Amino acid sequence: MLYLDNNATTRPSPAAVEAAREAMVELWENPSSVHRAGQQVRARVELARQSIATLIGAKPRELVLTSSGTEAVHLAIQGVLGAARSAGSNPPLLVTSPVEHSAGRELAKELEGRGDARLCWLAVDRDGVVDVSQLERLLEAGERPALVSVQWANNETGVVQPVERLAAVCNAHGVPFHCDAVQWVGKEPTKVGAGGLDCALLSLSAHKFHGLKGCGALYIRRGVRLRPVNPGTQELGRRAGTESVPSILAAGAAAAEAHAWLSASDFPDQREALLARRDRFERRVLEACPGASINGGGAPRLWNTSNIGFPRLEAEAILLALSERGLCASAGAACASGSLEPSPVLLAMGLDPAIAHGSVRLSLCRQTTEAELDRAVEVLASCVAQLRSSTSAAVGDPGAGGTAAR
């Protein structure tokens, strides 16, 4: 199997698997229990929290452990807007972008639809980079959003947003800034606070950096007002529910490994090599598949993400063909009733629907080899050529009853 779908999830590392096994076999007691066994589990949970905090340069008490990145994003947005409503802002203003992950984008629409928020969508350019000057003009005109929420790196294209500038603009006007860093953390060095990304909130997810599904986290800067979405006694009253200890301990192990890799003296050289590997892979795909294009290719991007458009083909057909050949990839769209809708992210970037319909995402991890990428180019080129041939035949043969794939 050629696995190039690491933005969807990563293979759990051996250390993460062992930590989860230990939690299930030896540390299965409830960490909220006052007896010694429960408190031993609690101690391990707090060590994992420390490890995750170290990965982003935060203090352990600044982290709320959640069940996922989506829950962390929801807690940030709903929590801050809920506190604003309690303080008399009805409805509060949320500033975000149309290229956010659906966890934030669809939540924003839902909040607006039920009257719990007003929305301001930041414009993006052809590469999907937000217009910081629009936010500056909004704030200079006297608007005071309850929250600005923008992702650090796009999950579909890998495009990196100017979050440092966004945070600086927000801080200058006393506006909280939330950064959805689910795709960033574990791939690039991260430091919150002074000397790093001075955001009010930052969300992450462990299974994006070789942990297990079931553990995310939300960093909350001291002093940020947040109303719990699901009140309870866990997480200093900011989240209810017995902790998923296997997922949390696995997250701690994965975070320690990621921090060791990102803080190694040779990481800058490794990063350059990873970027060169991605660029070489993309060049070979474009050479093998004339007419293909890199979506977001004009902006800084994560070293691991390639979103490639194949005009007049359907992403669903490409992905099924790749899967039959053992290559796992993805598309920024959802299947519904047998049809593949184009990605809202790509459409927001102004892409021709014919390209958006035929765009697929291939995402690497730090263990992906040159040999695997060479094989992926061969498989992708073969599948695209076969699909193009089939489409041309259907268009040219009146008896085939087919039409060109959009």
pLDDT at 339 over 80: no
Evaluate whether 80 touches 147 at the Cβ level (below 8 Å): yes
Q: Which residues of 361-385 are buried (b: 16+ CB within 10 A; e: fewer)?
A: bbbbbbebeeebbeebbebbbebbe
| DSSP reduced 3-state for 209 | helix
> Residue 84: which region, alpha, beta or left (left: phi > 0; alpha: psi -120 to 50)?
alpha
Residue 45 covered by a domain: yes
Tokens of 385: 């050529």
CATH of the domain at 312: 3.90.1150.10
Of the residues 120, 199, 289, 335, which is catalytic? 335
Does the residue 9 lie in any domain? no
Residue 401 lies in a domain: no
335 is catalytic: yes
Write the CATH number for 213. Answer: 3.40.640.10
Domain final residue pick, 208, 241, 262: 262
The pLDDT tens digits of the residues spanning 89-131 come to: 789 999 999 999 999 999 999 999 999 999 999 999 999 999 9
**Residue 5 within a domain:** no
**What is the reported pLDDT for 368?**
96
Mean pLDDT calculated for residue range 265-292: 97
Task: Give the range of the structural domain holding residue 294, as residue numbers without chain letter.
Answer: 267-392
Whether the CA torsion 218, 224, 230, 231 is positive or negative: it is positive
Share of the chain above pLDDT 90, in %: 91
Give strand pairing partners of 192.
Answer: 197
142 and 251 in a single domain? The answer is yes
Query: In this structure, are 23 and 146 located in the same domain?
Result: yes
Examine the domain organization and report whether 252 and 304 are in the same domain: no
Question: Residues 59, 176: one domain?
Answer: yes
- Looking at the fold, whether 313 and 235 belong to one and the same domain comes out as no
178 shares its domain with 75: yes
For the segment 304-338, what is each residue's pLDDT rounded down to a tens digit?
A: 999 999 999 999 999 999 999 999 999 964 433 34
Are the C-beta atoms of 406 and 354 separated by less than 8 Å?
yes
Do 237 and 273 sit in the same domain of this protein?
no
Domain count, the chain: 2
The verdict on residue 91 lying in a domain is yes
Same domain, 110 and 146: yes
Q: For residue 186, is it within any domain? A: yes
What average pLDDT score do residues 159-166 get? Answer: 98
* Residues 92 and 177 both lie in one domain: yes
| Rounded-to-integer distance, Cα 254 and Cα 267, Å | 17
Is the confidence at residue 74, as pLDDT, over 90?
yes
Backbone angles phi, psi at 125, to 5 degrees: -90, -170
Q: What is the pLDDT of residues 35-72, one digit of tens each?
A: 999 999 999 999 999 999 999 999 999 999 999 999 99
Kindly state whether residues 49 and 145 are assigned to the same domain: yes
Is 51 a domain residue? yes
**Domain ends where: 236, 262, 288?**
262
Query: Is 252 inside a domain boundary?
Result: yes
- Whether 142 and 24 share a structural domain: yes
| Two structure tokens written together for 381 | 């080129």
Among 216, 241, 262, identify where a domain stops.
262
Residues 361 and 341 in one domain: yes
- The pLDDT tens digits of the residues spanning 184-225 come to 999 999 999 999 999 999 999 999 999 999 999 999 999 999
